[in-house]
Amino acid sequence: MDAQNDLLSTDIEAYLKQHEQKSLLRFITCGSVDDGKSTLIGRLLYDSRMIFEDQLAALEADSKKMGTQGQNIDFALLVDGLAAEREQGITIDVAYRFFATEKRKFIVADTPGHEQYTRNMVTGASTADVAIILIDARRGVLTQTRRHSYLASLVGIRNVVLAINKMDLVNYSQDVFNRILGDYMNFASGLSLENIVAIPMSALAGDNITEKSGNTPWYMGQPLLSHLETVETKTVDRTAAFRMPVQWVNRPNQDFRGFSGLIAAGSVKPGDVVRVMPSGRESQVSRVFLDGDMPFAVAGQSVTISLEDEVDCSRGDVLTGVDDPIEVSDQFEVTIVWMNETAMLPGRSYLLKLGAKTVVASVTALKHKVNVNTLEQVASKQLAMNEIGLCNLSLAQPVAFDAYDKNRQTGGFILIDRFTNETVAAGTIHFALRRAQNIHWQAMEVDRAARAGQKDQKAFVLWFTGLSGAGKSTIANIVERRLFELGKHSTMLDGDNVRHRLNRDLGFTDGDRVENIRRVGEVARLMTDAGLIVLVSFISPFRSERQMARELLPEGEFLEVFIDTPLAVAEERDPKGLYKKARRGEIKNFTGISSPYEAPEDPEIRLDTTALTPEQAAAQIIDALEQRGLLRGAGL
C-alpha cells in the first residue's frame, strides 16, 4: 500500500495508469456459521485501508453497542448489512465488497453459512474464480464445510483456499492444522477441485492475512492476501471456439443490422466465418464494434457484430465459430440445485433460461439426489429446497449449448416457476441425451382435421376442474348426453375410472398427481387426434399441470371449465363420504383438506354451482360452445 500511496500523492497520472491495468479477481468466502467469514472480510477491508474514518467511527460505536468483542472492533458489523442480520448476528444474504491492492482488484461475495440460505451461497459462487472455505480450528470439518465445497465444485470453482481460522484459540498448533487438512483432503478427493491451498490464520488477530505471522513459524506458504494476488485463475482461453449468445438485434435503420451480446468464449474479428445456431446458417463477420470499430474482440467483452449476409438470427440464437460447433439438443442430463420452498416434481413444466434463450422444460426423470455430506447417491421422487439431484430434462424446442465444464455461460441455466415467476433452480448441463434424435415422428396421411371432418364436427377438450364433490362428473354427464343428442362423437375421461385402469400405479403424492394429469392430457390429445370431443372430469388441483395439458393442444381446442363450489359446500354434499374420511385422517393428501387446490385464474367457463342446478350449468356450457362456433360442422 505504501508504494502505491507514494505514487498516488506524487504522480497521480502514473497511479491511474497502473490502477487501470489491474486485473480482477472475484472470490467467495463460505463455511459454517461462526467460522468468522464476515470478520475475515472486515479484516481484509481494514488492512487494505478500504475503510474510511467516518465508517470506522460508526463501526467502533456499533461494536461497543453490540458488545460481541468487548471493547474491540467487531469487523463482522462492517459486512452484515441487513437489520435482521445485525440483530441475529448471522449472515442471511450475499454481500458484495470491493477492495484493491497494488496488483489486483477484488470483488468479494460474503455468503451465508446457514443451510436455509444455500441458494444465496450459490448465487455468490456462480460468478467466483476462487472460494475461500473457512474452518473453525476448534471444530474442524463440518457439514457446511462439505456442503459448500461440494457446491463450489459444482458451480465450476477450481481454486480453493482452505482458511483454517481461529488458530489463536488452539495455540497455533501444527498438529490441529494437519489433522483438519487431512480430513478435508480425504473428503475433497471426491470433488473436482484442482488447486487447494490451506492457510492457518486468525482473522480476528490478523495472523497470516496480509503478512506472515510469527505465531506459525511452521507454515511455509504465503499469507492469504499474497496468495489471492497471485493465484492463477483459468483465464479465458482466446484460442477456444467462438461463442456469443445473441441478446439483442440492433436495427436502428434500414442500413444497419447488428447482433449484440457478451462473448462467452474465444475471439472474433472481421472476416471470420460464423454460424448461427441452432439454424446452422453461415456468414462472414463484416464488423465488430462497440462505440467504434474493433480489430477483434475476446471473451468477456460486450460487442455488436454485423454479418456480410442477411441471415436469419434473433435473440436466443448463438453465434459460433465453425471449427468446434456448438451442440444442439432438446434432451439433457443435468445437475440441479433446487432453491424453492415448493419441491421439484418430475413431469411439471418450468421455464428454462440458458444464455438469452427461454424455453419450456420439464424434468423427465430424477435419477438420484446427492447426500452432500457423504456424496452418496440417494433415490428420491422429488427434490426439496436446497437438495441437489441428477436429472433428465426435456425441452419444448432444441437449444444450442455446451457442457457446463466447457463453458459456464453456454452450459449453466436457471429454472423459473411459470406461475409464481420465482427462480426455483440452478442447473448445469452434462451432455445431451440422444433419444430425441432416435424417435422419429411417423408422418400421417389421414390427419386429425380429416378425421374430425369425417364426423362433421370440431374436435376439442372440455376440461372440468374443481374440488371433489363439486359436481364435475354430474355436469359433464349431462353435457355429453346433450352432445350425443346433437349427433356429436365424444368420449369421457373420468378421474376415478382412469385411476382404476391406466393410472392404477399412481398414488396421491404431489409427484403422482402431476404424472396422473400428464397421462390424461396425452390421452385426451390422442382422442382429439381421432376427431372426438373429449370431456375430462378430474380434480386436477395444480395450475401448472392444467397449463401443461392446455399446451398439448392447438390454441382454442382446450376449454377449462371451472366447477366453482366452495369447500364448505362440497364437504357438506360429500357424495362419496371422502371428506369425512379425510377429516378423520384416513385419507392422506386429500385435495382441499390436506393438499392444496389452485383455482383457475382465467378459465374459459366458470360455473357457480351454489346458484345453478346441474341442468342449468350444462346448458350454459352448451351455449358457450355454440358461441365459440365449436358445435358447427368441421368445414364451417
| Contacting other proteins within 50-79 (CB under 8 A) | 52-55, 58, 62, 78-79
Euclidean distance between CA atoms 274 and 284, whole angstroms:
6
Give kind and range of the element (H or E) at residue 571: helix 567-573
Among 100, 169, 311, 360, binds other proteins (CB under 8 A): 100
> Is residue 455 marked as binding?
no
By CB under 8 A, the residues from 344 to 363 that bind other proteins are 351, 353-356
For residues 122 and 534, which CB has a smaller minimum distance to other proteins in the complex? Answer: 122
> Is residue 471 marked as binding?
yes
Residue 286 within binding range of other proteins, rule CB under 8 A:
yes
**What's the Cα-to-Cα distance from 330 to each of 185, 362, 364, 433, 540, rounded to whole Å?**
38, 11, 12, 8, 27
Residue 1 within binding range of other proteins, rule CB under 8 A:
no
Euclidean distance between CA atoms 484 and 211, whole angstroms:
88
Residue 9 within binding range of other proteins, rule CB under 8 A:
yes
Convert residues 356-395 into a mask of x (bound to other proteins by CB under 8 A) and - (unbound).
Answer: x---------------------------------------
By CB under 8 A, the residues from 398 to 457 that bind other proteins are 408-409, 412-414, 416, 420-423, 426
CA torsion 569-570-574-579 (nearest 10°) is -110
Euclidean distance between CA atoms 112 and 440, whole angstroms:
48
> Is residue 556 marked as binding?
no
Residue 116 within binding range of other proteins, rule CB under 8 A:
no
Greatest alpha-carbon pair distance for the chain in Å reads 98
Convert residues 599-618 into a mask of x (bound to other proteins by CB under 8 A) and - (unbound).
Answer: --------------------
Among 6, 194, 211, 323, binds other proteins (CB under 8 A): 323
For residues 416 and 578, which CB has a smaller minimum distance to other proteins in the complex? Answer: 416
> Is residue 37 marked as binding?
yes
Residue 290 within binding range of other proteins, rule CB under 8 A:
yes
Interface with other proteins (CB under 8 A), residue total: 103
Residue 119 within binding range of other proteins, rule CB under 8 A:
yes
Euclidean distance between CA atoms 468 and 23, whole angstroms:
63
Residue 541: is the preceding peptide bond cis (ω within 30°)?
no
For residues 290 and 450, which CB has a smaller minimum distance to other proteins in the complex? Answer: 290
> Is residue 272 marked as binding?
no
Part of the chain binding other proteins (CB under 8 A), chosen from 318-326, 376-384, 540-548, 575-583? 318-326
Q: Residue-wise over 380-419: b if at least 16 C-beta within 10 A, else e?
A: bebbebbbbbbbbbbbeebbbbbbbebbbbbbbbbbbbbe
213 catalytic? Reply is: no
> Is residue 33 marked as binding?
yes
Euclidean distance between CA atoms 93 and 226, whole angstroms:
28
CA torsion 79-85-91-97 (nearest 10°) is -20
Answer whether 378's CB lies under 8 Å from 371's CB: yes
> Is residue 166 marked as binding?
yes
Euclidean distance between CA atoms 53 and 44, whole angstroms:
16
By CB under 8 A, the residues from 222 to 241 that bind other proteins are 235, 238-239
> Is residue 112 marked as binding?
yes
- Beta bridge partner(s), residue 285: 307
DSSP single-letter state for residue 442: P
> Is residue 357 marked as binding?
no
Residue 82 within binding range of other proteins, rule CB under 8 A:
yes
Answer whether 338's CB lies under 8 Å from 431's CB: no
> Is residue 314 marked as binding?
no
Helix 174-188 vs helix 143-154: crossing angle, to nearest 10: 50
Among 284, 374, 454, 616, binds other proteins (CB under 8 A): 284
Euclidean distance between CA atoms 35 and 144, whole angstroms:
10
Residue 42 within binding range of other proteins, rule CB under 8 A:
no
Part of the chain binding other proteins (CB under 8 A), chosen from 20-28, 188-196, 458-466, 491-499? 20-28
Q: How far is CA 244 from the centre of its chain?
A: 21
Part of the chain binding other proteins (CB under 8 A), chosen from 134-142, 207-215, 268-276, 494-502? 268-276
For residues 218 and 248, which CB has a smaller minimum distance to other proteins in the complex? Answer: 248
Residue 194 within binding range of other proteins, rule CB under 8 A:
no
Among 120, 202, 208, 329, binds other proteins (CB under 8 A): 120
HSE (side-chain half, CA atoms, 13 Å) at 537: 21
For residues 98 and 218, which CB has a smaller minimum distance to other proteins in the complex? Answer: 98
Euclidean distance between CA atoms 330 and 311, whole angstroms:
23
Euclidean distance between CA atoms 605 and 464, whole angstroms:
9
540, 544, 594, 595: the active-site residue: 540
Cβ-based neighbours of 329, under 8 Å, separated by 6 or more: 398, 399, 401, 432, 433, 436
Part of the chain binding other proteins (CB under 8 A), chosen from 286-294, 383-391, 454-462, 615-623? 286-294
Residue 493 within binding range of other proteins, rule CB under 8 A:
no
Plot region of 268 (φ>0 → left; ψ -120 to 50 → alpha; else → beta): beta
Residue 19 within binding range of other proteins, rule CB under 8 A:
yes
Give kind and range of the element (H or E) at residue 41: helix 37-47
Binding site, annotated residues for GTP:
31-38, 110-114, 165-168
Active site residues: 540
Binding site, annotated residues:
31-38, 110-114, 165-168, 466-473
